[in-house]
Amino acid sequence: MNVPARDDVLAGPSDCTARAVLDRVGDKWSLYVIHLLGGGSKRFSELRRRIDGISQRMLTVTLRGLERDGLVVRTVYPTVPPRVEYALTTMGHTLLDTVCTLITWADEHVSEIDAARAAYDRRAALLSASINGDHAPGAGQDPAS
């Protein structure tokens, strides 16, 4: 798909704001949170359990940012101790299809991306070795050794 180059698309006062919004929804943690909340409201602990690798602090920062941008709503229930749940807002739901499509695309292409990264790393190592006058990794070695 070719996207026409248009200088006027990003011109204007909303340029910085739009970039900030894209930074928010495009980071890896926000994508996962939006995706999980697409299945219904969740408590903080459930989100943390289901998002591998996220710290408590990073989840808090991510949820606050999504709430500030109007994509997530935080509901506190008056119980002892208080119960807090997070859910997508109506606007947050408008992102769900896009987020799911992006996550599906990543899942479908992860092996190709891994192969491309490995090939790139091999080329970079060979180039670095040739620039530094070193032998290429594995070059000139006896395969039997």
Q: pLDDT per residue over 122-137, tens digit each?
A: 999 999 988 888 765 5
Residue 128 lies in a domain: yes
pLDDT tens sequence across 63-89 = 999 999 999 999 999 999 989 999 999
Q: Whose CA is closest to 73, among 107, 97, 113, 40?
A: 40
H-type alpha helices, 27-72 = 28-37, 44-50, 56-68
Query: What range does the domain containing 90 cover?
Result: 15-132
* Number of domains, the chain: 1
Helix axis angle, 28-37 relative to 90-132, nearest 10°?
150
Asked whether residue 83 is domain-assigned, the answer is yes
How far is it, in rounded angstroms, from Cα 26 to Cα 131? 37
- Other beta carbons within 10 angstroms of residue 92's beta carbon come to 23
Q: At 124, which CATH number?
A: 1.10.10.10
43 within a domain of the structure (yes/no): yes
pLDDT digit string, tens, across residues 24-63: 888 889 999 999 999 999 999 999 999 999 999 999 999 9
Residue 2 lies in a domain: no
